[in-house]
Amino acid sequence: IAPDTRSGVVTHMATCTRSSSLSRALLLPYLHSRTQTLCEPIRIARFSSTMKQPRPPSLFVCSQAKRGPFLKQDQVAATSDLEFEAPLKIVEYPDPILRAKNKRIDSFDDNLKKLVDEMFDVMYKTDGIGLSAPQVGINVQLMVFNPADEHGEGDEIVLVNPRVNKYSKKTVLFNEGCLSFPGIYADVKVLMFCFVSSSN
């Protein structure tokens, strides 16, 4: 993450379809005066904080950057809210931190970058695909994931202040697991697609 004095929003779209082949993500290039989308084919294992399992249905992921406001009622995180001690540890259910309200991030500085790096580190060490800040005991609106599920491969994606803007009414069964619920897996109905915006 690089510091940016301008407020920005990144929109992400994920679509699920049934397929016997390995999962893939597709990103398509698109430029506009106020938007930018980057798309390329990559393998994807899971779009959540899960441990590695057999590949799910094909995913088509499209990331789009645009500018726009966030909800004003969100409490803004202070510098102290992003402080942590390494190494980070996974918070497990029923810890109340997992259900606490998360603060919006307004400061894109070295503290945030260090937190993101540490989150990726613990995610890979615990065989995760994605991880949110509350899962490591920090109640801010932040998550990281790598669709390729391997350190040094694929794209490391960071979502700051994410918002679901639009979603499909159709669902598909998806085998889910979560690092905060170790050893538990189940078939869960998930959306066929959704649009998520986040700060850039």
- Mean pLDDT (the chain) is 76
Is the pLDDT higher at 123 or at 74?
Answer: 123
pTM: 0.68
Looking at the DSSP bridge assignments, the partners of residue 13 are 62, 195
The pLDDT, as a whole number, for residue 107 is 93
Is the CATH code 3.90.45.10 the one for domain 9-199?
Answer: yes
Residue 158 has pLDDT above 80, yes or no: yes
Distance of CA 178 to the CA centre of its chain: 13
Q: Tens of pLDDT along 145-155?
A: 998 877 888 89
Residue 179 has pLDDT above 50, yes or no: yes
Q: Band the pLDDT of 91: cuts 50, 70, 90.
A: very high
The pLDDT, as a whole number, for residue 152 is 80
Residue 48 phi/psi, 5-degree rounding, is -165, 175
Q: Tens of pLDDT along 9-34?
A: 655 555 443 333 222 232 223 223 33
Residue 142 has pLDDT above 80, yes or no: yes
Place of tokens 């009622």: 73
Give the residue among 187, 177, 157, 126 at the shortest CA–CA distance from 40: 157
CA 149, CA 134: separation in Å to the nearest integer?
A: 20
Mean per-residue pLDDT, 109-116: 96
Q: DSSP state, 94?
A: T
Alpha helices in 52-141 (DSSP H): 110-125
Largest CA distance in the chain: 47
Residue 131 has pLDDT above 80, yes or no: yes
Amino acid at 123: M
Amino acid at 129: I
Q: Tens of pLDDT along 48-59?
A: 445 555 444 444
Q: Which residues contact 168 (CB under 8 A, 6 or more apart)?
A: 15, 191, 192, 193, 194
CA 32, CA 65: separation in Å to the nearest integer?
A: 10
Residue 92 has pLDDT above 70, yes or no: yes
The pLDDT, as a whole number, for residue 143 is 98
Residue 70 has pLDDT above 60, yes or no: no
The pLDDT, as a whole number, for residue 12 is 57
What are the DSSP E strand ranges found in the chain? 9-17, 24-25, 30-31, 36-38, 42-43, 58-66, 130-132, 142-145, 157-167, 171-178, 181-191, 193-199
Domain ranges across the chain = 9-199
